[in-house]
Amino acid sequence: MDDFHHRGQRRQLIEQLRTSGRYDEKVLEVMANLPRHAFLDSSFHSWAYKDEAFPIDCEQTISQPSTVAWQSTELELLPRQHVLEIGTGSGYQAAVLSLLGGRVFTLERHKPLWRKAKLTLKKLRLDRIRCYLRDGNNGLPELAPYDRILATAGAAAVPPALREQLKVGGIMIIPVGPEGKEQTLLKIRRTGETTWTEEKLGGCEFVPFVEGLG
């Protein structure tokens, strides 16, 4: 399903991201080998290698490639680390994290998206990624703590459960901001049992982090 045409377009996109000098080379290599079109409806296949977000089901979007590269770079994920993703969506970001060597646990609140992402990941033989139909506000306490946490939906505030489920020494990347206003991408490090530091990485735009199941 990955043809010559798609590979050419993908190479161009990755070259464009590389030229910016903002992204980790390992992340770019993974993205260069991952068919993004496989995560989109066929009507979007010819657009899949534009640096744009596109609609998926349930009025959600697959993140822009430059955003995926940015979040994945800032996450500083190392092989075998446990990473919790909030907002499976199409499954593309989860696939990137898995190919970087992470043990990925991903949560989605919409059942149709959860189902479809599992199928897509299976087709790509990425079925070691564990997909859960859950409200990300509660994290995934039974398998906590996590070395890394990545949210791909914008929250009004950092959910306390996610802070608690981060390992001491761990990193969380999460967009935060009031609904309808510009969000800020935060990099949170847990420095001790009761201490966290916060760094603002820049402005961003994500679909809202919603309460409860869809």
- Residues of this chain that interact with ligand SAH (CB under 6 A) are 60-63, 86-87, 89-90, 92-93, 107-110, 113, 135-137, 152-153, 207, 209-210
**CB closer to ligand SAH out of 43 and 195:** 43
Q: How far is the CB of 201 from ligand SAH (least distance, A)?
A: 17
Task: Indicate the residue among 74 and 108 with the shorter CB distance to ligand SAH.
Answer: 108
Which tokens sit at 57? 């089901």
CB 35 within 8 A of CB 22: no
d(CA 174, CA 183): 10
Residue 106 Cβ, how far from ligand SAH at the closest point, in Å?
8
Burial category of 202 from C-beta neighbours within 10 Å (exposed 0-12, middle 13-18, buried 19 and up): exposed
CB nearer to ligand SAH: pick between 192 and 212: 212
Where is 164: in which H helix or E strand? helix 160-164
Q: Which of 43, 46, 63, 98 is catalytic?
A: 63
Angle value at C-alpha 14, between 8 and 15, nearest 5 degrees: 90
Known catalytic membership, residue 63: yes
Residues catalogued as catalytic = 63
